[in-house]
Chain A
Amino acid sequence: MLIELISETLIQLDIEAKSPEEAIRQAAYPLVQEGMIEERYVDGIIKALNNFGPYFVLLPHVALPHTRAEEGAVKNAIGISTLKNPVNFGNESNDPVKYLFTLSATENGSHLAALASLAELFEDESFFKLLENAKSSKEIMEYIKKNERSGK
């Protein structure tokens, strides 16, 4: 379940960043704090970004920073961060990035069902409206919980 991979402490609203690197480091910070990823995992994402470009900007305004499990993914988890000011990542079709879903995906495949729920959320306009307007992490948790329960 998606809800099992997210927690209020992994959600941050209106973070401030001026560059993709800054945005990724800030978005990943709670996952490091909570022991979901090692710090080198974040360095791995930045390195891959510099080598390959913004390969994880997957839909308009949304980035899913992640890298290979062996680079320091400890537990399956998803962090959600919204940016106060959108940042261009260099992905023509989907820039500017407003929302970062930092993904810690271990070799253990238990996050696969959660990703299916996430894919549904990505098609849900009211979810993005909520991200835009939410005043607290709790609102976002509640929304995800409600949606997943209703099997929407």
Chain B
Amino acid sequence: MLLNSLLRCRPRRLLALLLAVGLAPLANATSPSAHLPAAPASPLAHPAAAASAAEQDADTEDKGNLSASARRIYDAGRSRLLQVRTLLRDQDSQASVGSGSLVGDDGLILTNYHVVSQVALEPQRYRLNFQTVDGVTGALQLIAFDVVHDLALVRMAKPPAAIASRGTFEFRPAATPLAQGERIFSLGNPLDVGFAVVEGTYNGMVERSFLPQILFSGSLNPGMSGGPVLDDKGHIVGVNVATRRDGQQISFLVPAEFAQALIARSAHAKPITVSVEAEMARQLLQHQQQLTARFIALPWRETKHAHYSVPVPQEDFMRCWGSSNPSESKGLSFERSDCQMDTAIFINESLRTGDLAVRHEVYDGSKLGALRFAQEAGQSFRNEGMGRRTHDLTAPKCHEDFVENAGLPMRTVMCLRAYRHLPGLYDLAVLSQSVNGQTEGVQGRFDARGVSFQNAMLLASHYLQGFAWKRSP
């Protein structure tokens, strides 16, 4: 499964993305207009051409009118649209670019946290800059961020004299929610090739997502991150944030309410001059508290295995995928279930956190015999990676023993890693394999990223208590 890709444009990463996702599958594609790298402007210049067949059928308006409304929205919003650039501290080379929107007449700009993350985390190496559609540039200061919802506020250090005349974006009132299928318009600067407006459809909230996100059926590209998404009246309904690499026009927006809350909280705050790590840890601790509470409140699902009860989560905010090996296999047969959350919180290029994953494998080794089964089971127990020390995390430290729950004895290992820069946060991994079957068994693994130590203990207990031995099948 592919991860959501964040819409920040970084030159080196971009090449990898295009080579890996863009060029290879499109080599045999029938429509060259979809070929993004060769003709980057075409899908943006003719947004209607990119619209899906369903949209064309459903929409009674003709294409001329659609383009006209995109033009109207863009014309109305262009003076408040900006590109947010992360530059190296001592030279003018850009490290990454995103987009932003003017939301305060003192030069307050709304964007994504991940657009400004380098500056937030390493102010000694990076600085922020903006450029408007009409070419005005200047320095930016970080004001506030909401790392959980991937939002940030920045302010122009020296707002240009005519800043007030540009006006600010308004938010769509919460009282008038969008209906599925309504046309909305995303603004930004995709791949740093120029400011663009992208038409798409509002398709409600993403299902089974712990953090609310709007499903936007439109083409978002790296570089558009942080740009506003507007309704027909030019009011902000969301902020560009991510897209799915394995789909087409499956894009995600941060709902406007979180941006409004952040502005209400911090519009008049002073620029951040101290390390952001303490505040970031505070926000993440708050998030993990909610996540843990909601997760532990959910009962485990019933599993169908004759002998084992295995903890499988409800799919309220997780998604489970199952697989098994062919039944004619002469070795170990297994069935696997892999449940994880779609939303992980971006901290930096190499660290995502704030999510849970539960998976298990049920083994049937009747074709192997007891000795070989033990060998295979041990192999798969040994193979689990617990990670190594990195810039962000300590090495794992483990506790292990035989654990018994509801009649099922297991070999259990519980490993934790501490966040080196975010005090109080840990990654938890619990690995457990049953040790009561001659030729059958179950191995489960639970992962929680970015939880407090106390919640790690709670989650580990909760997880292990999901195992049981069913005496009479």
Is the pairing of A and B real?
no
**Residues of B that sit less than 8 Å from A by CB:** none
**Residues of A that sit less than 8 Å from B by CB:** none
